[in-house]
Structure 1
């Protein structure tokens, strides 16, 4: 299959509180969040095994964080993948908040 002919779309799925990356219409991965006031707390990112090594995780997170910026929210990178991405992409530094014990307690309550 020619990679340039593959349709890759990132979309926010508000009902599921996550961003999904779709490859030819099928979900290839997601990054999950919970909103805490003006903060969007990212806590889990995954790419399906059949799609690893294709740069989809970076594409997913890049577009999710751009959407956070466009919506006027701030990023809290609890998810290790998102945190690592942010270390390499300082263009989001001005809208990134630290992961604090308070945020972690709140997230634990949200996730049950």
Structure 2
């Protein structure tokens, strides 16, 4: 999945999905330079995706890149029929405010459990 979009300044950006084990990420690039990522884990034996960390290079702050990552990640999760588990504060805030809209579009999300947090800790230690 590579999507060509524009940031809030009108500059072209690319949002891509990078698969890896155990941590995958949606990345955003400006002029070919990777400047941000939204990291996630797909839960084994479940149709769930745990988003746990989103970061954009401060040099590119204020351009809406974190929002682009978030929206593309949620849209992709919806297309794949995955339940989103928002450990990342950005995802949690967005779904707390716009969760009803996401569900109305056919998406699903739930609050993180202790097991989700432990899964993230184990993945971070192994990374």
> TM-score per shorter chain, which class?
0.7 to 0.9
Residue number in structure 1 paired with 2:98: 89
TM-score in terms of structure 2 length:
0.78
Residue number in structure 1 paired with 2:123: 110
Residue number in structure 1 paired with 2:86: 77
Deviation (angstroms), 1:110: 2.4
Residue number in structure 1 paired with 2:25: 18
Instruction: Supply the distance in 1 between the matched residues of 2:65 and 2:97 (Cα, whole angstroms).
Output: 16
The answer to whether the Cα contact below 8 Å between 1:58 and 1:85 also exists between their aligned partners in 2 is no
Name the count of aligned residue pairs: 109
Residue number in structure 2 paired with 1:29: 36
Identify the range of structure 1 (49-58 vs 82-91) with the bigger mean alpha-carbon deviation.
82-91
Higher relative helix content = 1
Misfit runs of 4+, over 6 Å? none
Gaps of 5+ in 1: none
Deviation (angstroms), 1:50: 0.7
Give SS of 1:99's match: coil
TM-score in terms of structure 1 length:
0.88
